[in-house]
Amino acid sequence: MSRVGVQALLTSGRTLKQGRAMELGKLGPEYLKEVSICEMDKVTLESLGLNEGDPVRVETIHGSVVVTSKLDRRSEPGVVFIPCGPFANAITGSDTEGTGMPNYKSIPVQLFAAKGERILGVKELLNRMVEGL
Amino acid sequence: MSKDTILTNGRVYDPMHGIEGEVMDIYMSDGKIVEKVSESAKKIDLKGRLVMAGGVDMHSHIVGSKVGFGRAMCPEDHRKDPVPKTKYTRSGVGYTIPSSYVTGYRYSAMGYTTVIEPALPALKALGSWEEMEDLPNLNSGLLPMFCNSMITFDYIKEGDPSGLAAYIAWTLQSVGGLGVKVVNPGGTYAWAHGVDLRDHEGEIPGWGITPKEVTRGLCQAVESLKLPHMMHFHPNNLGRVGNVETTIAQLDSIRDIKGHGGRDHICHLTHMSFETLSSVEGGGNDWGDLESGGLKFAEYFNKNKHFTADMGQITFGPATTMTGDGPFEFYLYQLTGGKWTNIAVDVELPGGAGIVPYTYSPKAAGNSVQWAIPLEFALNVDDVWRCIISTDHPNAGPFTKYPLVFSWLMSKKQRDTWMEGMHKFAHERSTLPSIEHEWSLYDVVISTRAAPAKILGMEKLKGHLGVGADADVSVYDVDTTKVDFAKNPEKIIKTFSESYLTFLGGKQVSKKGKVKGVPNEGVWSVHPELNESLWERINKELEQKMNEWYSHSFHNYPVPARYRAHLEKKVMIDSTSVSA
Amino acid sequence: MTEGTHSNIVCVFCGCLCDDLQLEVQNNIITTNENGCAISKAKFLNHADDRLEGPAIRVNGTSKEVTLKEAIAKAVDIIANSKRLLVYGLSSTENDAHREAYKIAEEAGGVVDNTSSVCHGPTILGTQESGEAVAALGEVRHRSDLVIYWGSNPQFAHPRHMTLHTRAAGEFIKNPKTERKIWVVDIRKTISAGVADKFIRIEPGTDLEVISALRAIVRGKELDVDNVGGLPVSDLKEIAEVMKGAKYGVLFFGLGLTQSKGRHRNIDAAIRLIQDLNHYTKWSMMPMRGHYNVAGANKTSTWQTGYPFAVDYARGYPRYQPGEFTAVDMLMRGEADVLLNIAADPAAHFPRKALQHMGNISIINLDPKQNMTSLIAEVNVPTAIAGIECDGAAVRMDGLPLYLKQVVDPPENVLPDRDILRMIYDGLRRAKK
């Protein structure tokens, strides 16, 4: 397992596909596919030694999660994106600084190549989070 | 169903029937005042206490999108006044913009039974009807605004009074409105174009018409439709020093319009305190030049009888200003530098309604004159039937301070006491210190019950205690033969802050300030029926205009029956004489 | 009655509340959705699928189907024995359901919060500081010559927003392509940025600085730095000039502004900037509300309680405090011991620590569809989809209320949220006697 990684800021938000998939069913395969990805730029992808579609581990001080890497041709190094949903939340902190709003945008992350690692299903991920794993 | 009830030994004030302090019995059955009831009726011996019809407040901002926004943006306002739930009432918050339940309960506790929301953006009416569901213990009504609507401008520009009247009728039917509200005609619209239009003969940008034409057009339309309530008017140039002149000019400009059925009054001028600011001799428009225009306006009022007016009395202390006069609110924001909200509305109020929290201080030069103006006015009018007590709640003060307003009108001693701590302008820039006149209790009853009911066109059922009226009755814990209100103004406040008993449609809903929450008693609306060909025309034209201009469908504009059928008290109006 | 064509139907996905959907219904199934965007089509055409199984009660990890009566009784029992009830959600159901929810919270002395606490709650906090000059969608189309999307990706989250409102011609802007400019400000080049006239990229977490710098420049101040948020001051000066020179500018802003560093301070700064610009020309702003009725939840909460979200009834009257009575905080602190979740999916959208606590408490979940929260809820009650299977009212992002019609019948024995909640409330009243 490689411990050479790339630092970035993680942001999350909606995508059209995630919205559509949500309406098709939160427990279905389309939803899983659309929320278990991390979009990044070409340079970051290459630095990690990954091909698009390879698993990538995204780590914050709150936890880590393995998702599928995706190339975003428009993006530049420094910012990566996971669509809003359980995978992004697995590594998001709950401190709202008294506002009610957690920090969902610009979370400092470390990315690591995770070839061969498995992407959890939605139910599995949920169980792990609920159990504090 | 209310129990048959007899109120015995009450000292009744019923100006519509000329009753002034007569001890008599009031019979209530099935929600109405009746001639007599069965012997098994519940009897309540009032022991000489004061009895009058339930209060009718014809201008108070209690529901709607800007009221909601005002509440949401000022949590600090509510924190000071939490209202716990009781066995019979829901919880909420009070202060200057009470939550929906508390609004109903507090009015009820004060002896009010009818309160009209004076400014509705018609396309948002569904929201107001939803809120009405949660406005307990009151009769109510909604006044949609028409004077900054592109559709109004279109009809006026085309010289099409029938079209304009039909648009009004269609809207009143679709959203369940009670009358026509006019707020800064053309001025709020102009502000969407960055123009602060305050001259009623100036041009409304892009339309080639003037505010004066809009006001006249709407006034004529109201009369041609034979609507019971006349045009409810917030004029151009509000809140500016010297505007008593411009207000008079605007009232002059509609003086020739004939009231339907020969009626005298074709306009109700609202919150006159904000539009009768005068300037000292040789002065300009600075706040330092401010002088009360109250007396001047009273003189105009006494000579020109084509309109009625409500006071908009400043009560001092915190208030929340909220009006469809967006540019005025922006001006106020510039004076205060505090919070400011503006809410644009599709087509009907493009410039937007504004909200600015504001505190009136007796130590402030301007505010002290603003306080004096409506009092100077009211104490100089020759016909109290045309002069209504109001605070334009919550603009000039919260409705819970009405008893304080009564005390200023009824007691010179009270006015003097208050003026002691006030900025010297109250003395120097108004004639109030020298006014000896005091309103009688009878005057107050006229101004808060009989007259507003008449002006709203609701005098058949509201504002009086004659047989056939709705059994909306308030009893106050005072023997008027044993008290001199003028010499004891604290008694005025004590008496009227809380009714001894309030009846709503014959149901006892409040006793000594303890309220029993009951559902909204009814939302009054008018249904002006047009002749068939005009109705067909207007539906076609509005569908076309709405599809072009609005951002939602003509078909989704009307408020569905599901939200109104159980609440609406529809008054049918025969407007078929308006030609197609 | 439900068969055939239904026109002018209000979409119940996002805050655009488009009301021009045309649906075909056959055998109580919606077969076509004309005019709806891709997400709208997915929602309407799949309404019958993937329904929440139930009513059901979970015992020792296994979910067992029960009658509605049993489910309600269990829910009542859980709430009646709770110390600190948290009612949450509301943004994907209609207004009457909200009103029932507040009754329950008031009766139980609990907290009621809605999804705006993790969405545009900071916007509300900003307006509580400064007010807000709010735009109206129709007026944007008629008058705006400059539109800015800040921290918002409408092409993904509000797919028809640009087509219907900002790229459409209006009464005074006949040719939007030449007469209106659309800018996007974001930390990454989104798909919306790709179709805008100008994309302004700022560094993550610098919104507050950039907006404050713009405010200063608009007011004629000189900055003593070279660049702010990755933008050279010369660029900022140009931006300020163009904004001041617009005739009718509109700022649409999204979670990029509310959720990033600074949160409500970002919004407050934006509000003040727009207010300042009104001294020179006409500017207004509008939050891009995510869920179709989150604006309605704020509205119903406000008229009934005085406060727009995060309302606590522990003292028998409404109290308001974001950070104290907001859902994520109440869960993270372990303060809520029961969660009544209505038409939302906190298990999918709340951060990990909050979610962990959810695993330890009783959850009563009302939703039409299977969702992540239903996987850990103790009581699941399927409900009718508002705007498809039951009627109601909702509020658009600019405050316009719209009536949601019922288009098809709900599945057998499935009731609207408001009815279920009323049953729970009635049960709670009886339990307290």
pLDDT tens, N- to C-terminus, chain B (580 residues): 567 999 999 999 999 999 999 999 999 999 999 999 988 899 999 999 999 999 999 999 999 999 999 999 999 999 989 999 999 999 999 999 999 999 999 999 999 999 999 999 999 999 999 999 999 999 999 999 999 999 999 999 999 999 999 999 999 999 999 999 999 999 999 999 999 999 999 999 999 999 999 999 999 999 999 999 999 999 999 999 999 999 999 999 999 999 999 999 999 999 999 999 999 999 999 999 999 999 999 999 999 999 999 999 999 999 999 999 999 999 999 999 999 999 999 999 999 999 999 999 999 999 999 999 999 999 999 999 999 999 999 999 999 999 999 999 999 999 999 999 899 999 999 999 999 999 999 999 999 999 999 999 999 999 999 999 999 999 999 999 999 999 999 999 999 999 999 999 999 999 999 999 999 999 999 999 999 999 999 999 999 999 999 999 999 999 999 999 999 999 999 999 999 8
Which DSSP category does B17 fall into? G
CB distance B234 to B325 below 8 Å: yes
The single-letter code of the amino acid at B53 is A
With beta carbons under 8 A apart, name residues in chain C contacting B549: 138, 142, 171
Domains C56-119+292-385+413-432 and C121-287 equal at CATH topology level: no
CB distance A94 to A45 below 8 Å: no
Q: What is the mean pLDDT of residues C92-121?
A: 97
- Tell me whether C255 touches chain A (CB under 8 Å): yes
Chain position carrying tokens 């009212």:
C393
The residues, any chain, with a CB within 8 Å of residue B222's CB and separated by 6 or more, are: B168, B179, B180, B230, B231, B266
Closest residue in chain C to residue B125, using alpha carbons only? C401
Beta strands per DSSP E along B15-81 = 19-29, 32-34, 42-45, 50-53, 55-57
CB distance B505 to B1 below 8 Å: no
Token duo for residue B470: 């709705």
Count the neighbouring beta carbons within 10 Å of the beta carbon of residue C117. 28
d(CA A71, CA A46): 10
A113 CA to chain C: closest CA distance, Å? Answer: 22
d(CA B422, CA B367): 10
The proportion of chain C whose per-residue pLDDT surpasses 70, expressed as a percent, equals 100
With beta carbons under 8 A apart, name residues in chain C contacting B398: none
Sign of CA dihedral B101, B106, B109, B111: negative
- Exposed, middle or buried, A77 (CB in 10 Å: 0-12/13-18/19+)? middle
Task: Write out residues 301-330 of C within 8 Å (CB-CB) of B.
Answer: 302-308, 313, 315-320
Question: Are C13 and A130 in contact (CB < 8 Å)?
Answer: no
Question: Are C402 and B126 in contact (CB < 8 Å)?
Answer: yes
What is the reported pLDDT for B3? 76
Q: Give this prediction's pTM.
A: 0.97
Closest residue in chain B to residue C403, using alpha carbons only? B556
With beta carbons under 8 A apart, name residues in chain C contacting A81: 188
Give me Rg for the CA atoms of chain B: 23
- Tell me whether C390 touches chain A (CB under 8 Å): no
Closest residue in chain B to residue C96, using alpha carbons only? B130
**C159, C370, C375 ranked by CB distance to A16: nearest:** C159
d(CA B282, CA B290): 11
**C153, C290, C355 ranked by CB distance to A89: nearest:** C355
C-alpha distances (whole Å) from A54 to each of A43, A51, A133, B472 are 15, 6, 24, 76
- Tell me whether C187 touches chain B (CB under 8 Å): no
Task: Return the SS3 of B522.
Answer: strand
B221 CA to chain C: closest CA distance, Å? Answer: 26
Nearest to A54 by CA among A44, A62, A64, C325: A44
The residues, any chain, with a CB within 8 Å of residue C59's CB and separated by 6 or more, are: none
Nearest to C184 by CA among C216, C219, C148: C148
Q: What angle do CA A12, A18, A20 make, to 5 degrees?
A: 150
Question: Are A85 and C348 in contact (CB < 8 Å)?
Answer: yes
The single-letter code of the amino acid at B369 is V
Question: Are C42 and A23 in contact (CB < 8 Å)?
Answer: yes
- Exposed, middle or buried, C7 (CB in 10 Å: 0-12/13-18/19+)? middle
- Tell me whether C373 touches chain B (CB under 8 Å): no
What is the reported pLDDT for B120? 97
Question: Are B340 and C133 in contact (CB < 8 Å)?
Answer: yes
Helix-, strand-, coil-residue percentages of chain C, each rounded to 5? 40, 25, 40
- The answer to ipTM > 0.95 is yes
Q: State the pLDDT confidence band at C432, using cuts at 50, 70 and 90.
A: confident
Site from C43, C91, C294, C352 to mutate, A interface, most A CB atoms within 10 angstroms: C352
**Matching CATH number, C121-287, of 3.40.50.10140, 3.40.228.10, 3.50.50.60, 3.40.50.720:** 3.40.228.10
Q: State the pLDDT confidence band at C201, using cuts at 50, 70 and 90.
A: very high
Closest residue in chain B to residue C138, using alpha carbons only? B551
Domains identified in chain A and CATH numbers = 6-130 (2.40.40.20)
Arithmetic mean of pLDDT over chain A: 92
Please give the torsion angle defined by the CA atoms of residues B560, B565, B569 and B574, in that order, rounded to the nearest 10 degrees: 60
A4 CA to chain C: closest CA distance, Å? Answer: 24
Q: Cα B448 vs. chain centroid, distance in angstroms?
A: 11
d(CA B351, CA C425): 43
**C127, C318, C395 ranked by CB distance to B341: nearest:** C127
Q: Please give the backbone phi and psi of residue C137, each rounded to the nearest 5 degrees, phi first.
A: -60, -40
A92 CA to chain C: closest CA distance, Å? Answer: 5
CB distance C135 to B353 below 8 Å: no
Task: Write out residues 20-79 of A within 8 Å (CB-CB) of C.
Answer: 20-28, 62-63, 72, 74-76, 78-79
Q: Please give the backbone phi and psi of residue A68, each rounded to the nearest 5 degrees, phi first.
A: -90, 130
A97 CA to chain C: closest CA distance, Å? Answer: 7
Closest residue in chain A to residue C199, using alpha carbons only? A74
CB distance B255 to B306 below 8 Å: yes
Fold adopted by C56-119+292-385+413-432: Rossmann fold (3.40.50)
Q: Is the pLDDT of residue C325 over 60?
A: yes
CB distance A31 to A25 below 8 Å: yes
Size of the B and C interface in Cβ pairs below 8 Å: 192
d(CA C48, CA B559): 29
B236 CA to chain C: closest CA distance, Å? Answer: 20
d(CA B213, CA B186): 10
Sign of CA dihedral C328, C329, C335, C336: negative
Arithmetic mean of pLDDT over chain C: 96
Q: State the pLDDT confidence band at C2, using cuts at 50, 70 and 90.
A: confident
Task: Return the SS3 of C293.
Answer: coil
C-alpha distances (whole Å) from B527 to each of B179, B225, B571, C158 are 10, 10, 6, 39
What is the reported pLDDT for B86? 96
C245 CA to chain A: closest CA distance, Å? Answer: 30
With beta carbons under 8 A apart, name residues in chain A contacting C185: none
**C118, C121, C352 ranked by CB distance to A62: nearest:** C352
Q: Please give the backbone phi and psi of residue C176, each rounded to the nearest 5 degrees, phi first.
A: -60, -30
Q: What is the mean pLDDT of residues C282-286?
A: 98
With beta carbons under 8 A apart, name residues in chain C contacting A16: 38-39, 155-156, 159
Sign of CA dihedral B255, B257, B261, B262: positive
What is the reported pLDDT for A132? 82
Task: Return the SS3 of C84.
Answer: coil
Closest residue in chain C to residue B345, using alpha carbons only? C136
Question: Are C305 and B99 in contact (CB < 8 Å)?
Answer: yes
CB distance C330 to C355 below 8 Å: no
Q: Is the pLDDT of residue A2 over 70?
A: no
Domain parsing of chain C, residue ranges: 56-119+292-385+413-432, 121-287
Task: Write out residues 166-195 of C within 8 Å (CB-CB) of A.
Answer: 187-191, 193-194
Q: What is the DSSP string of C150-181?
A: ES--HHHHSTTHIIIIISS--SS-S-HHHH-E
Question: C and B: touch, per 3+ CB pairs < 8 A?
Answer: yes
Q: State the pLDDT confidence band at C1, using cuts at 50, 70 and 90.
A: low
Q: What is the mean pLDDT of residues C31-45?
A: 96
d(CA B351, CA B183): 12
With beta carbons under 8 A apart, name residues in chain C contacting A19: 13, 38-39, 42, 156-157
Nearest to C390 by CA among C378, C382, C401: C382
Q: What is the mean pLDDT of residues A103-107?
A: 88
The residues, any chain, with a CB within 8 Å of residue B436's CB and separated by 6 or more, are: B412
**B527 strand-pairing partners:** B572
With beta carbons under 8 A apart, name residues in chain C contacting A21: 42
